[in-house]
Amino acid sequence: MRNILALALTFGAASPALAASGPFFSLGNTDFVVLLAFALFVGILLLAKVPGMLGGQLDSRAEGIQNELNEARALREEAQTVLASYERKQQEVQAKADQIVAAARDEAARAAEQAKADLQTSIARRLAAAEEQIASAEASAVKEVRDQAISIAVAAADEVISKQMTATEANKLIDAAIADVDAKLH
């Protein structure tokens, strides 16, 4: 109540110009009527406990805002945790990808070395086969030349012997050859 009275005196004393003439504390003075209406309004607000309700509403609003801030902090922390988890997973996936690439490169290098070794082995085998074919062809050619030389020598010897030999000498040679073959076979 003191606050209302102090408010009324301050309002009345602070007004620079009064709107009505005459004594201030009369119902004919509009400033006094307005002051009374204001005091009555403030009194009704105080009786209805409006400042307490406003304070309670402000407190509940502040509490709601604090709860929202706490929830936002919790969500932020959770989001940071999830982000850190995804970053960690991304790093793990990147590491695995790097390992796979490195393994693929190593495997490719090993396959290239193996292919190179297989190619060298194949080339060596083919060279050996070609050398064998060459040696075989050479031996065959030498044998063929010898056979022809022998055939020519036999033909020439036959011709020489047939011109120089008589029938009796030929029969003696045939008998000696048969005896020689008979001795070697038995």
Residue pLDDT, tens place only, 51-63: 888 899 999 999 9
Question: What string of DSSP letters covers 100-120?
Answer: HHHHHHHHHHHHHHHHHHHHH
Q: Tokens 């070395």, residue? A: 113
What is the band of 2 on the pLDDT scale with cuts at 50, 70, 90?
A: low
Segment of 6-15, 103-112, 137-146 carrying the highest mean pLDDT? 103-112
Q: How far apart are CA 47 and CA 32, in angstroms?
A: 22
Query: Looking at residue 164, what is its pLDDT?
Result: 74
In sign, the C-alpha dihedral spanning 171, 177, 180, 181 is negative
Residue pLDDT, tens place only, 29-43: 888 899 999 999 999
Q: What is the mean pLDDT of residues 80-102?
A: 95
Query: Looking at residue 1, what is its pLDDT?
Result: 55
Q: How far apart are CA 184 and CA 186, in angstroms?
A: 6
What is the band of 14 on the pLDDT scale with cuts at 50, 70, 90?
A: very low
What is the band of 74 on the pLDDT scale with cuts at 50, 70, 90?
A: very high
> What is the overall mean pLDDT for the chain?
85
Which residues 6+ apart lie within 8 Å of 12 measured at CB? 24, 31, 32, 35
Q: How far apart are CA 62 and CA 58, in angstroms?
A: 6
Task: Please report, for the chain, the start and end positions of each structural domain, with discontinuous segments joined by +.
Answer: 2-87
Q: What is the mean pLDDT of residues 140-152?
A: 86
| pTM of model > 0.75 | no
What is the band of 10 on the pLDDT scale with cuts at 50, 70, 90?
A: low
